[in-house]
Amino acid sequence: MKPSHEFALFHPQLSSLVADGKIPTVSCMIDDVELIHRMVHVLRLEDGQQCVLFDRLWRGVFTVHTVNKKMVSGTITGITNNIPLRPTITYCVPLLKRDALEQVLYALTEMGINTIQLIDTQKIARAWTSKEFERAQRIIIAAAEQSKYFSYPNLLSPISFDAMLSNYMHSPAYKLYCDPDGKPLWHCLQQVRTLKPTDIIIISGPEADLTREEKQRLQDYAVVFCALTPTILRAYQAITLSAGVFRAATSSIQSK
């Protein structure tokens, strides 16, 4: 999935330019102020140099033809549809404190998670604003640029714990909760390798953990409790570790 060109930049209008991807070469004039700034002043691209442009659906190699302060023009070739990693992994993430949540969003994108569902739990009480959602989207895109995971995660606004149960627990997906008293990690990985699920749902609690009642409700839905390490991890560490381990362990599973 990693392209041969080092730099990748998000272009929000790329899909409207490449249509269905059947045209081999597309002329492109970029007038987005932020994108121009990054091309001209950060990457210092000049005539003939290249970078990868992408959005969530498409990517292509952009060759610079003309550069000035108000516009960058060029052509896009090698247009390719972004294929999400399989199996599909949805991560239900509690509304952690802002700094920790931003670390988690960046890491989950790097790990190749498909969907990030934010959730409220009984031990979390904080607001979530449209500005924070916009910042979260920018963090995910920055991580996609760095990791070259162009089919970056779909971020979903926070829902209640009850809504999470209703929306996700009836799924036939392999469902697990990160808990220090759960089954050993090797056991859960072996289950996944044997079952070869097309969908995986991972749930993690906040720093103060889920309540006993919330855990019992997960167990009522046959959610597998998984101990990642013999020690107690911070929430963002547990989320990052579990996402990476299960993405790596399932990288050879292909969903048709």
94 and 42 within one domain = no
Query: What pLDDT is recorded for position 251?
Result: 80
Flag whether 255 is in a domain: no
Specify the number of domains making up the chain.
Answer: 2
Flag whether 105 is in a domain: yes
231 and 161 within one domain = yes
Which tokens sit at 75?
């052509």
Closest CA to 239 of 183, 184, 177: 177
Using an 8 Å Cβ cutoff, are 45 and 51 in contact? yes
Flag whether 151 is in a domain: yes
Flag whether 186 is in a domain: yes
200 and 101 within one domain = yes
Query: What pLDDT is recorded for position 69?
Result: 79
Give dist(CA 229, CA 224) in Å, integer.
15
Sequence-distant (6+) residues with CB within 8 A of 80 are 21, 58, 59, 60
118 and 197 within one domain = yes
205 and 104 within one domain = yes
76 and 50 within one domain = yes
Query: What pLDDT is recorded for position 3?
Result: 47
In angstroms, the first-to-last Cα distance of the chain is 18
- The sign of the dihedral angle between the CA atoms of 251, 108, 147, 89 is positive
Query: Residue 41 corresponds to which amino acid?
Result: H
Give dist(CA 95, CA 180) in Å, integer.
20
Using an 8 Å Cβ cutoff, are 202 and 246 in contact? yes
Flag whether 37 is in a domain: yes
Count of CB atoms within 10 A of residue 69's CB? 10
| pLDDT per residue rounded down to tens, the chain (256 residues) | 444 457 999 999 899 888 776 778 889 899 889 999 999 888 999 999 999 999 999 999 999 999 987 899 999 999 999 999 999 999 999 999 999 999 999 999 999 999 999 999 999 878 899 999 999 999 999 999 999 999 999 999 999 999 999 999 999 999 999 999 999 999 999 999 999 999 999 999 999 899 999 999 999 999 999 999 999 899 999 999 999 999 999 886 654 4
112 and 70 within one domain = no
CATH code for position 98: 3.40.1280.10
31 and 115 within one domain = no
Give dist(CA 206, CA 179) in Å, integer.
11
Give dist(CA 76, CA 125) in Å, integer.
46
Domain end, chosen from 81, 101, 135, is at 81
Which tokens sit at 140?
């995910």
Q: Where are the beta strands (DSSP E) in 56-208?
A: 58-67, 72-81, 88-94, 115-119, 154-159, 174-184, 199-203
96 and 73 within one domain = no
76 and 59 within one domain = yes
Domain end, chosen from 81, 109, 130, is at 81
The upper half-sphere exposure of residue 63, i.e. CA atoms within 13 Å in the direction of its Cβ, equals: 9
Flag whether 52 is in a domain: yes
Give dist(CA 69, CA 88) in Å, integer.
42
127 and 94 within one domain = yes
CATH code for position 73: 2.40.240.20
pTM of the model: 0.92
Flag whether 256 is in a domain: no
- The parent domain of residue 73 ranges over 8-81
32 and 77 within one domain = yes
C-alpha dist (Å) from residue 234 to 3, 15, 116, 180, 186: 34, 39, 19, 11, 20
Flag whether 235 is in a domain: yes
Angle, in degrees to the nearest 10, between helices 98-110 and 235-249: 10
Instruction: Give the pLDDT confidence of 165-222 residue by residue, as tens digits.
Output: 999 999 999 999 999 999 999 999 999 999 999 999 999 999 989 999 999 999 999 9
Domain end, chosen from 43, 59, 81, is at 81
